[in-house]
Amino acid sequence: MKRLLKVLSVSLVSLLVVAAFSFAGGSKEAAAMTSQGGRVDLQGKTIHMTILGIGGWIPSRLGVEMAPIFQKYAKEKYGYNAEFSYQDAPFTSLYQKAATSLATHSQEFNIIISDSQWLGALSNAGWILKLNSLIEGNPTLSKTQWWDPIVQESYQSYPDYSNELWGLPQEGDVLVLYVRKDLVDNPTNQKNFKAQYGFDLPSTFEEYSHLTMDKYIDICKFFTRPADGLYGVAIQYSKEYDYMTGSLYPFIWSSGGQIWDYKTNAVWGVLNTDSNAKALETDVSLLKYAPPGDVDYGIGQVLDAFTQGKVATAWQWAAEGSGMITPQLEGKVLVVPLPGFMVNGKFMQVSSLGGQPWVLNKFNDPAHMQVAKDFMAWWYLPQTQMEFVKQGGNSVVKDVLDSPGFDNIHPWLRAYKYELTTEHSRDFWHVPQYAQMLALQQEYFTGYASGAYHDAKSVLDYIAAQQQKILYDAGISKIPPPTNIANIVAH
């Protein structure tokens, strides 16, 4: 027993020492501050940079794959040698990897490709560099015009819609509709469809860009032929990460709803409206026209279903285009905007915004920070952006998207351009508590989709109340959750 006591006391002392160590970690920041005006001279030096990105995601990798071009550029312009390497993590755990590294104030990753909703969390923790001065002070960056104001709102600002910029858009992305052109062009299908539903089966971009949900559901119904192994639609309902949420939001937004009020940070009363409940029901109703097992589908499964010829349409990200359109499907795929709703007599269509900004690690030492800044400036040069697009990335630069022939470089670029506007797409909240809010709603949305809960409104009530509580407790919102929150249960 005496021995054990000795052991315990030794460990207690060590514990206190170590605890003191870790809680005092904040002071390391001071060294990492970079000079605001002056360049750091790196003539003749070799700097090694690491970019953290999404595992298996080509646009993400392109940053490093195109780095040799930057290397040459930097050598000529600034006289230093920059070598880049890539580190990746599974997409659904990328946030964990980035956050655990940044929390240690480490320089492990100099540039991080993050998801737009993390901007709040990363900036709030003081881990990333505020980019306003970099952008204003740099000739390329200050003159680069984005395709649409939504680019800044989504990939750069936190707080939402403010002018505080924390990231630069590495890649733009929107949720679009992939359609099997060969199926809708087929004369037999067209004849039968017209006979059954009374209107022409849409087969052009223009027709789809004004397609209402009820007509779209008819199309899905038409192509649901289990005996032939064909279904109308593949769409995401998986609980993992943000899969179901990303596919649900267009229903909410296109029918005139909102997920929160960004000015007051209110969720209660905004998310849980009857209109949104209907939107949730409509989203889940598509399961009838989806392959069995679709209730568990994420990005990968939707892709598999589409490329294996199991579905006529698929709700998928534009950035997945090169994977969705396999050599076998070449020329057979039409990529169009998502269907919309008639709201107060007007056609409304809002899709989910995806894409990734990249952010600069605040703890980079001056040398690495300088290279990172130069790299950012180089990335947005017109020639770099054109190369990026050619290799399969989605640029957000106005000049590039306006350039002649842009739409034809890849089949999905037309829909991408069309949706990447404030009118046609929207992003999630960027608040630091986004992970908690997301996990909560994913659990309940998927619960509803799988039949664990039966009343869409009660599900939304629960989510809205809990999310309001999260924001209120964190001091983000001044609006408290409803007083009867304990009685608000999803059923």
**Window 324-353: residues binding another protein (CB under 8 A):** 326
Among 18, 31, 33, 409, binds another protein (CB under 8 A): 18
Among 57, 193, 251, 416, binds another protein (CB under 8 A): 57
Please report whether residue 435 would count as binding another protein according to CB under 8 A.
Answer: yes
Query: Nearest approach, Cβ of 473 to another protein (angstroms)?
Result: 10
**C-alpha distances in Å from residue 96, one per residue of 122, 151, 186, 243, 364:** 11, 25, 47, 17, 19
Within residues 231-270, the interface with another protein by CB under 8 A covers 238-241
Query: Nearest approach, Cβ of 4 to another protein (angstroms)?
Result: 6
Query: Nearest approach, Cβ of 121 to another protein (angstroms)?
Result: 5
Q: Which is nearer to another protein, 421 or 436 (CB)?
A: 436
Span of 82-90, 378-386, 399-407, 415-423 interacting with another protein by CB under 8 A: 82-90
Q: Which is nearer to another protein, 281 or 443 (CB)?
A: 443
Among 28, 83, 100, 402, binds another protein (CB under 8 A): 100
Span of 66-74, 96-104, 160-168, 374-382 interacting with another protein by CB under 8 A: 96-104
**C-alpha distances in Å from residue 46, one per residue of 64, 71, 84, 106, 107:** 16, 10, 11, 20, 16
- In DSSP notation, 155-174 reads HTBSSTTSS-B--EEEE--B
Among 209, 282, 313, 433, binds another protein (CB under 8 A): 433
Query: Nearest approach, Cβ of 27 to another protein (angstroms)?
Result: 12
Q: Could you tell me which residues come within 8 angstroms of residue 393 by beta carbon, excluding any fewer than 6 positions away? A: 58, 59, 62, 171
Query: Rounded to 5 degrees, what angle do the CA atoms 107, 113, 116 make?
Result: 125
- Cβ neighbours of 83 (radius 10 Å): 13
> Cα(292)–Cα(282) distance, rounded to whole angstroms?
18
3-state secondary structure (DSSP) of residue 279: helix
> Cα(90)–Cα(404) distance, rounded to whole angstroms?
36
Query: Nearest approach, Cβ of 438 to another protein (angstroms)?
Result: 8
Binding string, 23-42, against another protein, x = CB under 8 A? x-xx----------------
Query: Nearest approach, Cβ of 303 to another protein (angstroms)?
Result: 4
Span of 118-126, 140-148, 171-179, 203-211 interacting with another protein by CB under 8 A: 118-126
**Which residue type sits at 361?**
N
- In DSSP notation, 204-249 reads SHHHHTT-BHHHHHHHHHHH-BGGGTBEEEE-----STTHHHHHHH
> Cα(143)–Cα(399) distance, rounded to whole angstroms?
11
Please report whether residue 476 would count as binding another protein according to CB under 8 A.
Answer: no
Among 110, 116, 124, 356, binds another protein (CB under 8 A): 124
Query: Nearest approach, Cβ of 167 to another protein (angstroms)?
Result: 16
- Residues that bind another protein (rule: CB under 8 A) add up to a total of 84
Within residues 438-457, the interface with another protein by CB under 8 A covers 439, 442-444, 446-453
3-state secondary structure (DSSP) of residue 330: coil
Question: Cα 445 from chain centroid?
Answer: 18
Please report whether residue 480 would count as binding another protein according to CB under 8 A.
Answer: no
Question: Among 378, 374, 368, 376, which residue's Cα sits nearest to residue 48?
Answer: 368
Q: Which is nearer to another protein, 310 or 398 (CB)?
A: 310
Q: Which is nearer to another protein, 44 or 293 (CB)?
A: 293
Please report whether residue 295 would count as binding another protein according to CB under 8 A.
Answer: yes
Q: Are 437 and 467 in contact (CB under 8 A)?
A: yes
Q: How are beta strands 356-360 and 111-113 bridged, if at all?
A: antiparallel
Among 49, 284, 303, 376, binds another protein (CB under 8 A): 303
Among 292, 331, 345, 405, binds another protein (CB under 8 A): 292
Q: Are 371 and 78 in contact (CB under 8 A)?
A: no
Q: Which is nearer to another protein, 339 or 432 (CB)?
A: 432
